[in-house]
């Protein structure tokens, strides 16, 4: 029985924001976590991406902070009271966006700080005072050291994607940050898995947490239709283009394993006429946010991404995810396909399985997700030149220039991914100079003399045995330059 948000007794200004987002019923993590946090308890949540966990920790925090709401412009009236720590810039940006949306009708302020950006604008915002601070650990420490922010009044801390933060090596930074916080506070920890390290972190920093597990870790959402195609590495691009067309997929994430492969594939898809952008670690922060924004606005159809760059991205309604390369870590498969089929929407996940290495990696996915994978074949249609679509080509209405014909052929090859076998006319043969087909002859003394004699230079070449009419005597050429 789905639970409605109205059962929570949230403040009307928060309910208004929830209604504006279009949510009526709570997701399981929301239904379980929100009442605990409102009552002041710590939470240790195992929730996969896409379960609605951001609202599960944001709404109760805002609800509890409403008592501190102030219309004053004084920074002293807006100290940091809630701190949300996340592993990546994109995730921080995204969560900050959601916090802003839920706090829209309140006087509570929020800000986000992450690395790779100028510190100055972040400093200005921090100095004005914010109640909710969303941050990545490294940049937050920079601001603490620069005395741009004080954490002495923090009442709520959220460690989101805690397993990722530990993977990245943020534990020392987290420990330092937590040492600046008051001991009496609410602490929430969310993680895809509860590894021994996560349990240790929880034991040190959470007090009697309520454990909430909404989906078994490593379980893929049932709303995602997963298919695996056996495709030779060289045919992957062609297969991708064919499936995009066949399944009429408008927008999609395409995952690759390397930065170079990412840049190349995006480029080649662009050349094939798709609106594609690469998202990888070598892109500047600004470029990455712009790419994301363009994708969200629908200006870009294919976001070609590496795992690190795409971690934690929440872009709604991505109808499809392609695993152009099978990920090296089976867990990344779960994270990748978690971009589609979010919050109950249906999605498609297509994976291309190439050589032996891919077969091994696919075996890891089978084990992790406890599902049997059947490989599908992919067939490429034979190329059939469609005479009618070539317009006036053969109708005699119009004579096409060779250049136009070449241009059309190149465009078709790019669109379809395959090249017609017979199409171009044979290039016109240049007349062959008979000189090059003659057997070699030793020059006779007369011939050498005539070649160096100034008088012999006129009209002599064509009459000289063994010399081509196309070879002019040296002196005559030299005379042209003098």
Min dist CB 223 to ligand AMP, Å, is 12
Which residue lies nearer to ligand AMP by CB, 126 or 165? 165
Which residue lies nearer to ligand AMP by CB, 101 or 144? 101
Structure tokens at 144: 């603490």
Place of tokens 């070699």: 440
Min dist CB 202 to ligand AMP, Å, is 20
**Distance (Å, rounded) from C-alpha 258 to C-alpha 240?**
17
Which residue lies nearer to ligand AMP by CB, 126 or 134? 134
Which residue lies nearer to ligand AMP by CB, 28 or 138? 28
Parallel, antiparallel or unpaired: strands 347-353 and 320-323: parallel
**Distance (Å, rounded) from C-alpha 254 to C-alpha 349?**
10
Min dist CB 23 to ligand AMP, Å, is 4
Min dist CB 18 to ligand AMP, Å, is 8
**Distance (Å, rounded) from C-alpha 471 to C-alpha 424?**
34
Which residue lies nearer to ligand AMP by CB, 27 or 136? 27
Which residue lies nearer to ligand AMP by CB, 90 or 332? 90
Which residue lies nearer to ligand AMP by CB, 221 or 239? 221
Place of tokens 């695996």: 228
SS3 83: strand
Min dist CB 103 to ligand AMP, Å, is 15
Min dist CB 294 to ligand AMP, Å, is 18
Min dist CB 316 to ligand AMP, Å, is 5
Which residue lies nearer to ligand AMP by CB, 26 or 269? 26
Inter-residue contact 353 to 326 (CB < 8 Å): yes
Structure tokens at 4: 């409605």
Which residue lies nearer to ligand AMP by CB, 97 or 261? 97
**Distance (Å, rounded) from C-alpha 287 to C-alpha 264?**
17
Which residue lies nearer to ligand AMP by CB, 312 or 327? 312
Min dist CB 61 to ligand AMP, Å, is 14
| Torsion 19-25-27-31 (CA) sign | positive
**Distance (Å, rounded) from C-alpha 356 to C-alpha 385?**
35
Chain residues in the site for ligand AMP (CB under 6 A): 23, 26-27, 30, 49-55, 314, 316, 342-343
**Distance (Å, rounded) from C-alpha 37 to C-alpha 63?**
10
- Which DSSP helix (H) or strand (E) runs through 448? helix 445-452
**Distance (Å, rounded) from C-alpha 10 to C-alpha 466?**
103
Inter-residue contact 270 to 276 (CB < 8 Å): yes
Cα 480 to chain centroid distance, Å, stands at 63
Min dist CB 71 to ligand AMP, Å, is 28
Which residues neighbour 348 within 8 Å (Cβ) at sequence distance 6 or greater?
A: 224, 225, 227, 247, 249, 319, 320, 321, 340
Inter-residue contact 181 to 50 (CB < 8 Å): no
Compute how many other C-beta atoms are within 10 angstroms of the C-beta atom of residue 358. Answer: 19
Min dist CB 139 to ligand AMP, Å, is 21
Q: How crowded is the C-beta side of 137, counted as CA atoms within 13 Å?
A: 24
Strand pairing partners for 302? 252, 276
Min dist CB 342 to ligand AMP, Å, is 5
Which residue lies nearer to ligand AMP by CB, 47 or 461? 47
- Which DSSP helix (H) or strand (E) runs through 63? helix 53-65
Compute how many other C-beta atoms are within 10 angstroms of the C-beta atom of residue 457. Answer: 18
């Amino acid at each position: 029985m789905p639970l409605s948000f109205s059962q929570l007794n949230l403040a009307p200004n928060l309910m208004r924001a929830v209604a504006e987002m279009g949510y009526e019923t709570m997701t399981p993590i929301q239904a379980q976590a929100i009442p605990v946090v409102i009552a002041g308890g710590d939470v240790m949540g195992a929730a996969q991406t896409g379960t609605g966990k951001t609202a599960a920790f944001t709404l109760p925090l805002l609800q509890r902070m409403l008592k501190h709401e102030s219309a004053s412009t004084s920074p002293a009236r807006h100290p940091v009271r809630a701190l949300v720590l996340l592993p990546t810039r994109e995730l921080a940006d995204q969560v900050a966006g959601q916090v802003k949306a839920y706090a829209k009708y309140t006087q509570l302020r929020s800000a986000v700080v992450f690395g790779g950006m100028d510190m100055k604008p972040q400093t200005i915002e921090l100095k004005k005072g914010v109640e909710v601070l969303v941050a990545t650990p490294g940049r937050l420490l920079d601001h603490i050291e620069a005395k741009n922010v004080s954490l002495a009044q923090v009442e709520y801390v959220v460690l989101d994607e805690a397993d990722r933060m530990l993977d990245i090596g943020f534990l020392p930074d987290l420990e330092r940050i937590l040492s600046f916080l008051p001991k009496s506070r609410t602490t929430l920890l969310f993680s895809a898995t509860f590894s021994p390290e996560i349990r240790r972190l929880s034991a040190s920093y959470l007090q009697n947490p309520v454990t909430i597990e909404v989906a078994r870790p490593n379980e893929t959402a049932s709303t995602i239709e997963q298919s695996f195609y056996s495709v030779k590495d060289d045919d992957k691009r062609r297969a991708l283009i064919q499936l995009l067309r066949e399944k009429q997929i408008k927008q999609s994430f395409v995952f690759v394993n390397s930065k170079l492969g990412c840049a190349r594939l995006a480029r080649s898809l662009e050349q094939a006429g798709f609106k594609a952008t690469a998202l990888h670690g070598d892109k500047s922060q600004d470029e990455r946010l712009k790419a994301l924004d363009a994708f969200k606005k629908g200006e870009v159809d294919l976001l070609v991404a590496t795992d690190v760059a795409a971690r934690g991205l929440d872009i709604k309604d991505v109808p499809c995810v392609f695993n152009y390369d099978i990920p090296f870590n089976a867990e990344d498969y779960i994270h990748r396909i978690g971009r589609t089929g979010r919050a109950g929407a249906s999605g498609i996940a297509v994976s291309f399985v190439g050589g032996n290495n891919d077969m091994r990696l696919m075996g890891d996915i089978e084990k992790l997700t406890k599902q049997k994978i059947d490989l599908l074949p992919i067939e490429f249609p034979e190329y059939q030149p469609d005479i009618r679509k070539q317009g006036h080509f053969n109708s005699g209405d119009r004579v096409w220039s060779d250049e136009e014909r070449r241009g059309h052929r190149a465009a078709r090859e790019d669109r379809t991914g395959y090249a017609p076998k017979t199409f171009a006319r044979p290039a016109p043969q240049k007349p062959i100079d008979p000189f090059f087909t003659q057997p070699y002859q030793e020059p006779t003394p007369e011939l050498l003399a005539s070649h160096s004699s100034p008088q012999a230079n006129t009209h002599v070449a064509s009459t000289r045995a063994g010399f081509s009419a196309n070879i002019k005597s040296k002196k005559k050429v030299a005379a042209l330059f003098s």
